[in-house]
Amino acid sequence: MNHATFIHRCLLLAQQGRGKVGINPMVGSVLVRNDEIIAQAHHEGFGLPHAERSLLESIEGSIKPDDVLYVNLEPCCHQGKTPPCTDIIIKKGIKHVVYGMKDPNLEVLGKGIEALRKAGIDVVGPVLPELCQRLNRGFISLQKNGRPYITLKHAQTRSGEISKPDGSPLKITSQEQDEWSHSYLRARHDAILVGAGTVITDDPQLTVRLKNKNLEQSLTLRIVLDPNSSIPKDAQIMGEGTLLINKEKKDCDQPREHPFVGADVIQEKGVMAEEVPVKNGVFDWESLWKVLTTPKDNFNGITSILVEGGAKTWDVFKKAGMIDEEVWLVGK
């Protein structure tokens, strides 16, 4: 039996949860009988059943002794929003489990595997751990570093320009580069982040509109770091799926020029807005991560961010060491 093939299938299913599972991991699961997939499921949304529980609850008929359950993340063994997956795996009579990577959540980390083995289940893994970790790098970062996974994306010309000399926008990348970055950068992060300067100068849409048609619909959030509420109300980004980060009212020296953080504008445009304290001229990192990774109302949190600029914003992230990966697109 080729374990890698079925873990691959779990990863493809897992990806369908991007943008829907919030701060949870993306997980897919398949049940294999005689080398064929007879059932499959993925974690469909924050607070909803885990992949292996959904799969096992949907199974009609009995589990056979040689059936193998595949899942890209170690099954959980703790009571969270849903009961432990190890319980249903044991109860349903599964005898073989193959997993992709251990769960970095300290409440699980190996204990799920241990619980299954204690119940007499044959557990094999990790299988394709690097690929599994790559998919859930945001979830891992949140568990280990307490913040989302951060990728900085820059575009510059061969001579190093990022905009025209007067600061006005300069088209740098080709259509092909744009399609690649929409499909493989924007669509593969939970959020795209820019500073207020970029919205004021470029008025970008920051949507995933040029993606490869085989990719899932993306629900990528747009975040603007706008401490002084200085971006225009009619900017293209002002709409549903945008989160504005403003500084706390008590930190404002004078009344805001564009006080769009009022309930009327939020309702009219459908944007979300949060206030975060400023420390040494920039948003306090701990408070910022708390806002972005704590589920609240209909926001389920994010685990990965693509920082698209501009120069001041890149600089602040770099100086603070808030960077896991950097991508440079060099245009004409």
Ligand X SMILES: NC(=O)c1ccc[n+]([C@@H]2O[C@H](COP(=O)([O-])OP(=O)(O)OC[C@H]3O[C@@H](n4cnc5c(N)ncnc54)[C@H](OP(=O)(O)O)[C@@H]3O)[C@@H](O)[C@H]2O)c1
Q: How far apart are CA 13 and CA 92, in angstroms?
A: 22
Looking only at Cα atoms, what is the longest distance across the chain? Answer: 71
Q: Does 249 bind ligand X (CB under 6 A)?
A: no
The distance of closest approach from Cβ of residue 147 to ligand X in the complex, given in angstroms and rounded to an integer, is: 13
**Beta carbons of 23 and 142 less than 8 angstroms apart:** yes
Q: Is 59 or 278 the residue whose CB approaches ligand X more closely?
A: 278
Q: How far apart are CA 85 and CA 11, in angstroms?
A: 18
Judged by CB under 6 A, the residue of 74, 202, 274, 275 near ligand X is 202
Site for ligand X in 287-316 (CB under 6 A): 308-313, 316
Q: Is 33 or 249 the residue whose CB approaches ligand X more closely?
A: 249
Judged by CB under 6 A, the residue of 197, 208, 243, 260 near ligand X is 197
Q: Is 187 or 282 the residue whose CB approaches ligand X more closely?
A: 282
The CA distances from residue 189 to 34, 209, 224, in Å, are 36, 14, 15
Judged by CB under 6 A, the residue of 110, 146, 169, 262 near ligand X is 169
Q: Is 52 a catalytic residue?
A: yes
- Choosing from 36, 44, 52, 240, the catalytic residue is 52
Judged by CB under 6 A, the residue of 51, 77, 89, 155 near ligand X is 155
Q: Does 246 bind ligand X (CB under 6 A)?
A: no
Q: Does 196 bind ligand X (CB under 6 A)?
A: yes
Q: How far apart are CA 163 and CA 307, in angstroms?
A: 17
Site for ligand X in 43-72 (CB under 6 A): none
Q: Which stretch binds ligand X (CB under 6 A): 82-90, 132-140, 224-232, 259-267?
A: 224-232
The CA distances from residue 176 to 161, 181, 212, in Å, are 20, 9, 11
Q: Does 227 bind ligand X (CB under 6 A)?
A: yes
The distance of closest approach from Cβ of residue 224 to ligand X in the complex, given in angstroms and rounded to an integer, is: 8
**Beta carbons of 93 and 62 less than 8 angstroms apart:** yes
DSSP string, 135-198: HTHHHHHHHHHSS-EEEEEEEEETT--SS-TTS-----S-HHHHHHHHHHTGGGSSEEEEEHHH
Q: How far apart are CA 106 and CA 298, in angstroms?
A: 27
- Say how many C-beta atoms besides its own lie within 10 A of residue 130's C-beta: 9
**Interacting residue ranges for ligand X, rule: CB under 6 A:** 154-156, 162-163, 167, 169, 172, 194-198, 201-202, 225, 227-228, 230, 282-283, 308-313, 316
Residues with catalytic roles? 52
